[in-house]
Amino acid sequence: YQNFDTELQRANISMVFGSGPFPLLRQHRERYSMALLFGSDLTDLIFNKETVQQIYDADYNFAKPPLTPRLTAVPGDKKVILYWDTRAEKSRDPFLAYKEDFEGYLIYRSTEPEFQDIKVITDSRGEPRYWKPIAQFDLIDGIRGPDPVGINGAHFWRGSDTGLQHTFIDSNVVNGQRYYYALVAYDQGDPNLGTRGLQPSETTKIIREDFSGVLQFVDINCAVVTPNAPAAGYVPPEIQGETSRPTAGIGSGSINVQVLAESEIQENVTYKVLFHSSGEAHNYKTVSYDIIDVTHGVTLQSNIDAQRFGADIFSPPVAGFAVSIQNDTSVTVDLANTGWLSGSSNLDVRVYPSIKSRAITTVWPADYEIRFFEDFVDTTNNFRIPIKFMVWNLSDDRRAEVEVWDNDRSRTLSLGDEFTIIEFIGTNFRLTYDFTYYAPTDPAATPREPQAGDRFILRTRKPFREGDYFQFSTRAARVENQLAKQELSRIAVVPNPYIATATWERRTLNQTGRGQRKIDFIHLPQECTIRIYSISGSLVKTIHHQAGAADGAESWNLVSDDGMDIAFGYYIFHVDAPGVGQHIGKFAVIK
C-alpha cells in the first residue's frame, strides 16, 4: 500500500503526484509541499533541488525583488523608444527589515517571448544562468561590478554606477521584426547575510504567446512591438523654438527635447523648462529644473535633478516627450565667441581671468560689452583715469566698474596697456577679467586704435542660474495628402524577392511544418486598398490597409483569398489610396 503506480498508457499528457507513506487518519489534516524540478542534466537538477529545499527550510521567507516597474514601448522607424515609471525605486524588502534595497534597471530584448535566446551568461559548468541585457542603469552608490555571492562561478553584474535613467532609445532594430522587451528592476542583495550571502534578485518578466503567435499575456514591465516606417505623407511632430540657448537668463548651456510618443504630442502647446540654483549670485550651482505647460498653466514635473546631465540623461517623460540638458558647471571665457563685434579696430585683444591679485579675484558669471565713444564717458574705479569707453554687464543689464593699468603712463589706453573689469560682493570689490591690447597679429598691418562706435564683447560659459528658462512649442504629427502623392513611388515590398523565408518570421513551435510566411508592404498611405495579381492578371488577394499615421506597413501571409498558399513566380500589386493616388509595383516569390 506504500507504492503508487505512475505508468501512463494510451492517455493524454498529464501529471500524477504521489506522496507517502503516512496514515490518513480520520479528522486529521496533513500538509505537504511540492516542487516541480527541471534541469538540463542530473547535476543541474540536484542543484535546483537544493535551492528549493533552502526555501522550504526558511518557511518560504526569502528576499523579494523590487516592485515591478511599468514599461511603455513606442515603435518608430528603425527604432523603439522605451520609458518607464519610478515605482520600483522605493521598494522595501520585509526579509531585510524593510530596507530600501533597490539598485537598478536592466533592459532585455529578445525575438521570442521566453527570452531564452539571450540567456547566454553561463556558470563554470556551462549552464545558462543570466540573461544578457542591452542596457543597464544603476544607482551611483558604490555598489558596482560582479556580485560576490554568485552561482557556481557565475556572478550577477550589479552595474557601473551609471546613474538611473527612465528613457532608452533602441536604434539597433530592423523594421518589420517583432521584438519582445522587458524592463526588470533588481535589488542590491546582501553578500554578508548568513553564511552564504544573498545575491541580487530581479523582477519577473512574463510574456505568454500561443503557437500561432497570438499574445495571451504581457506583464506591465514588458512590451511587444514591431518598428516600421510611417505612412506616406507623414509629417512627424515638431519642436519649435530655440533650444541651443535660454529664452531668458544667463546660462550658456542647451537642452534637447526628445519626442517619445509621437501620438501624444499636442498641437500648439507651449512649454517652459525653468531652472533653479543655489548659492550666491557670483558663486552658484544649478540644482534642478521644472517642466511647465504654459498653455494650460500646469507644472508637469518639478525638481528634476540637474546635477546629473548629458545627452543620454533624460527627464521623466511628460506629454509625449522628455528633456535632456547640457550645462556648464564652471565659469570660463568663451574664446570662440569673444572678440570685436563691430568697428574698425584691428588690435589683438586678449582676455583671461584676472591674475592681478589672487586674494581678490573672482571669475564672474556674466557677459560684457565694451563700448567706445568719441568723448570721455567714464572714470576708472581707483586711479580715476578718464576713459572713452564703458563696460556694460549684459547678463544683468547694468554698467560695470573698470580699472586701467596705464603701463606707459600716457593717461590713454594704448598698446601694452591693460584694463580689468571690477564687480562687487557687497562693498568688497573683486577683479574679474583682464584685457590687454596688442598689435595686430598680421605684422604688415597698421594698428588702428578703437574709435567711437567700436564694440568688443566678452562671452563666458556659465551654469544655468535661478530663473533661467527655455520656452518652446509643439506641433502634432499629421499626414499631408500632397506630400503623400509625392511619396507614392516609395511604396515597396520587402523582402523582394521573397526567397523561402524572411528574417522576421516567427520560429516553428510545432514538430512539423514551419512558421507563418510573411512579406510587408511599406511606405503605404494611411488608408488604401492593395490588390495583388498573378502575372497572367488573375486577382490573388485584396488587402484593405487602415492604420495610424506612424505605421505605413501592411503584412501579408502569402495566402490567397481562396485560402491557398501562393505559388512561386512574379506578382503585380496595385495600391489605390482615395484622395492620394495610385501605385503599381511587382515582386517575386522564390520557394
Which pLDDT tens digit goes with each residue over 396-427? 999 999 988 877 777 666 777 888 999 999 88
pLDDT score of 211: 74
Cα 354 → chain centroid: 41
Nearest to 156 by CA among 145, 167, 172: 145
Give 476 or 50, the one with higher predicted confidence.
Answer: 476
pLDDT average, residue stretch 460-472? 96
Find the helix or strand (DSSP H, E) in which 368 lies: strand 368-372
Which pLDDT tens digit goes with each residue over 140-186? 999 999 999 888 889 999 999 999 989 999 999 999 889 999 999 99
Sorting pLDDT into bands at 50, 70 and 90, what band is 441?
confident
pLDDT score of 81: 93
Q: How many CB atoms lie within 10 A of CB 285?
A: 15
pLDDT score of 411: 66
Give 18 or 1, the one with higher predicted confidence.
Answer: 18
Nearest to 108 by CA among 76, 73, 80, 132: 132
pLDDT score of 102: 95
Sorting pLDDT into bands at 50, 70 and 90, what band is 51?
confident
Sorting pLDDT into bands at 50, 70 and 90, what band is 232?
very high
The string of DSSP letters for 185-241 reads EEE--BTTSTTT-B---B----EEE-TTS-EEEE-TTEEEE---PPPTTEE--EEES
**Calpha distance 239→461 (Å, rounded):** 25
Find the helix or strand (DSSP H, E) in which 48 lies: helix 42-57
Nearest to 236 by CA among 76, 74, 73, 473: 76
**Calpha distance 125→130 (Å, rounded):** 13
**Calpha distance 525→488 (Å, rounded):** 8
Percent residues over pLDDT 70 in the chain: 92
Assess whether pLDDT exceeds 90 at residue 432.
yes
Assess whether pLDDT exceeds 90 at residue 539.
yes
Sorting pLDDT into bands at 50, 70 and 90, what band is 390?
very high
Residue ranges with strand state E in 215-335: 215-218, 222-225, 234-235, 238-240, 254-259, 269-280, 283-293, 298-305, 321-326, 332-333
Who's near 194: CB < 8 A, 6+ residues apart? none
**479, β-bridge pairs:** 234
For residue 78, which amino acid is it? K
pLDDT score of 512: 46
Give 416 or 543, the one with higher predicted confidence.
Answer: 543
Nearest to 527 by CA among 514, 544, 510: 544
For residue 572, which amino acid is it? I
For residue 411, is it left (φ>0), alpha (ψ between -120 and 50) or beta?
Answer: left
Q: Helix or strand or coil: residue 161?
A: coil
The percent of the chain in helix, strand and coil, each rounded to the nearest 5, is 5, 40, 55
**Calpha distance 315→138 (Å, rounded):** 16
Nearest to 229 by CA among 502, 572, 521, 484: 521
pLDDT score of 473: 97
Predicted model pTM: 0.76
- Contact (Cβ atoms closer than 8 angstroms) between residue 319 and residue 462: no
Which pLDDT tens digit goes with each residue over 186-198? 999 888 876 678 8
Find the helix or strand (DSSP H, E) in which 148 lies: none
**Calpha distance 358→354 (Å, rounded):** 8
Q: Please, where are the H alpha helices in 339-490?
A: 481-486
pLDDT score of 9: 56
pLDDT score of 422: 94
Q: What are φ and ψ of residue 354, in 5° steps? A: -60, 140
**Calpha distance 50→374 (Å, rounded):** 93
Percent residues over pLDDT 90 in the chain: 59
Q: What are φ and ψ of residue 303, in 5° steps? A: 55, 45
Which pLDDT tens digit goes with each residue over 56-66? 776 776 678 99
Which pLDDT tens digit goes with each residue over 93-116? 887 778 889 999 999 999 999 999
Assess whether pLDDT exceeds 90 at residue 538.
yes
pLDDT score of 1: 47
pLDDT score of 95: 75
pLDDT average, residue stretch 511-529? 80
The three cell numbers locating residue 460 = 563666458
Assess whether pLDDT exceeds 50 at residue 312.
yes
Half-sphere exposure in the Cβ direction for 442 (13 Å, CA): 6
Average pLDDT across the chain, whole number: 88
Sorting pLDDT into bands at 50, 70 and 90, what band is 52?
confident
